[in-house]
Each structure stands twice: as C-alpha cells, then as structure tokens.
C-alpha cells in the first residue's frame, strides 16, 4: 500500500483538481512492489452523515483488498472529508456521479468495480445506470436510492438523532451517542479512535450537503443493470428500510446476497472479516469467470 501520513487523526492522501474548482481528496493503494496499472480497480464510495469520509468508512477493509491484489481507490465525496465543500452547490445524485466519473477519467481508470454503502451505494447504482460500460461489478451495502425520501424519515435512526442531539448538536458526546445508538448493533465496536476521526472531519463540514442532497428512488430501474452485484445487509439496520432487501432481490438480474443478524448500518466495520472475505470471494469468482469467457 502507498504511504499515508499526517499528524491529523484522519490520514491525508492525494488531491486532484476537477472542474468548477472541485478538489477531490483520495487514496490510491496497490500491493507493495506493484505499479498503479496493476490489479483490478475497486472504488470505495462512502456513506453520508456527519464526519463521514472514505477512509473512516473503509479503513478496516482496504488492506485486505490490496493484499489480495486489487487496486483500492478511496475517495472523499464532494462535501465530505478533505474534499471540496462548495456552499452554493446542489448535492444531487447526478452531481456526485459527475465528479466520480471525472475523477476516474483523470486517473485513467476506464472499467472497475464500485463498492458503496448507503449514499455510496446509491451513487454506485446511479453510475452503473448512466455508464454501464465502465462498471464490471457492483458491491452494495445497505444502499440508498431504492426508497422514497419520506420512507427514510420513518426509521428509528431519525428518532435517535433527535433524541441525542437535542441541546447538544455540537457535542462530541452527542455525536458519539448517535453513532453508537443509530449506526451499529454492538456499540462496543465503536472505538474512541473512530469517534475522534469522524469528529475531527465533522468540524470541516458545512450543512449544504445535507440541506440539498437529493437522491431519487431508482428501484424501478434495477433491472437495467446487467453486471453482477453483491448485496450485503445488516438485519438490525436502523437507518435503511428493510423493504430494500426485497427490492434488490426482485429487481437485480444477477446477484449474490448476504443478510445477517446482529448487524446495523456499518456491516464493513461491525463484521469486518466476514465483509472482506465475502467481497473478495465474490470478486475472485466473477473475475475468474469473465477471464474464462474472454478466452
């Protein structure tokens, strides 16, 4: 893996200048001794929310992918992490997809696997619909974009958000309580280091991304996706309606699915080894199959 070093709690990687003054922060990892052109590229797409960033979401997963020979690209989406946060932008799904596509074109990646959770999952679905020839596989973990916006506001996490932030919206303790109560099943896995990482980057955010975020319901278009997909879902997710599981099961054409108990919204953090093993088995099998067909 390439080096990341910083005196900040959240490691700092590289920056890329894109259109309209957008600066994207990202990490680009390959196995030691390999060049950046080797290894099937996997783009990790984070979820939304306070303090979210590519690294804080996927820091426990990236090393396993790199060791397995994959090129791991981890970006901070616009409005998050160390990436640009314009206060006059409308953070629509197309806005995110546009910058993801521009980023990939600038670094010379023409086909890849998209791995996204929550908002990142919605971006992965939307990207696959808009640029089908650029996507070889999808890995979707409790993805957004398959329900109407009003349905998300009926979920327990929204009540928890009101409960813990009343009178303490800028408190690190309230911030930590929301993560422990709303995003995971087992609060003991949420370490002080993880809280500190997200709290630090939360201080860099403005509220424009939350106020203007607009992700359409793409459930009716899932059948247009022709690439293999892996779906992972925690049955104790308090943020995403469980109806999403059946929408994905009935809508996608070619998929594998793993739904597990005692798991909240952060499958990749709560069940790291299972997540890594399942994703890598899926990718190894699908890429090997594609190689055999190509021959």
List active site positions: 265
Contact partners, residue 294, CB within 8 Å, separation at least 6 = none
- Following CA atoms 272, 276, 282, 283 in sequence, which dihedral angle do they give, to the nearest 10 degrees? 150
Q: For residue 259, which phi and psi values (nearest 5 degrees)?
A: -115, 125
User: Can you tell me the distance from the alpha carbon of 5 to that of 25, in angstroms, rounded to the nearest whole number?
Assistant: 14
Taking a C-beta distance cutoff of 8 angstroms, is the pair 66, 35 a contact?
no
Both tokens assigned to 165: 């932030």
Distances (CA, A) of 165 to 81, 211, 238: 21, 17, 17
User: Can you tell me the distance from the alpha carbon of 276 to that of 114, in angstroms, rounded to the nearest whole number?
Assistant: 15
Contact partners, residue 3, CB within 8 Å, separation at least 6 = none
Element containing residue 95 per DSSP (H, E): helix 93-107
Distance separating the N- and C-terminal Cα atoms of the chain: 31
Both tokens assigned to 88: 């006059």
The burial class, CB within 10 Å (0-12 / 13-18 / 19+), for 102 is: middle
**Quick one: DSSP state of residue 85?**
-
Q: Identify which of 207, 202, 208 has the alpha carbon closest to the alpha carbon of residue 172.
A: 202
- Classify the C-alpha dihedral 163-164-170-175 as positive or negative: negative
């Amino acid at each position: 893996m390439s080096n990341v070093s910083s005196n900040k709690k959240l490691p700092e990687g590289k920056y890329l200048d894109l259109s309209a003054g957008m600066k994207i922060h990202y990490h680009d990892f390959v196995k030691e001794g390999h060049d950046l052109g080797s290894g099937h590229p996997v783009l990790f797409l984070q979820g939304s929310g306070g303090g979210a960033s590519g690294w804080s979401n996927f820091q426990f997963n990236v090393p396993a992918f790199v060791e397995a020979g994959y090129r791991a690209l981890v970006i901070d989406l616009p409005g998050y992490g160390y990436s640009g946060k314009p206060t006059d932008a409308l953070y629509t799904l197309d806005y995110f997809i546009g910058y993801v596509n521009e980023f990939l074109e600038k670094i010379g990646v023409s086909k890849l696997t998209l791995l996204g959770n929550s908002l990142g999952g919605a971006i992965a679905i939307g990207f696959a619909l808009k640029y089908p020839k650029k996507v070889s596989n999808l890995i979707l973990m409790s993805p957004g974009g398959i329900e109407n916006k009003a349905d998300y506001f009926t979920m327990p996490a929204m009540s928890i958000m009101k409960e813990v932030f009343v009178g303490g919206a800028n408190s690190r303790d309230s911030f930590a309580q929301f993560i422990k109560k709303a995003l995971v099943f087992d609060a003991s896995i949420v370490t002080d280091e993880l809280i500190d990482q997200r709290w630090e980057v939360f201080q860099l955010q403005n509220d424009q991304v939350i106020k203007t975020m607009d992700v359409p319901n793409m459930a009716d278009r899932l059948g247009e996706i022709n690439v293999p997909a892996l779906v992972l879902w925690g049955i104790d997710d308090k943020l995403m309606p469980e109806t999403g599981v059946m929408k994905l099961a009935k809508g996608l054409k070619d998929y594998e699915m793993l739904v597990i108990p005692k798991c909240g919204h952060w499958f990749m953090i709560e069940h790291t080894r299972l997540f890594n093993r399942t994703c890598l088995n899926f990718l190894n099998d699908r890429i090997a199959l594609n190689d055999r067909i190509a021959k």
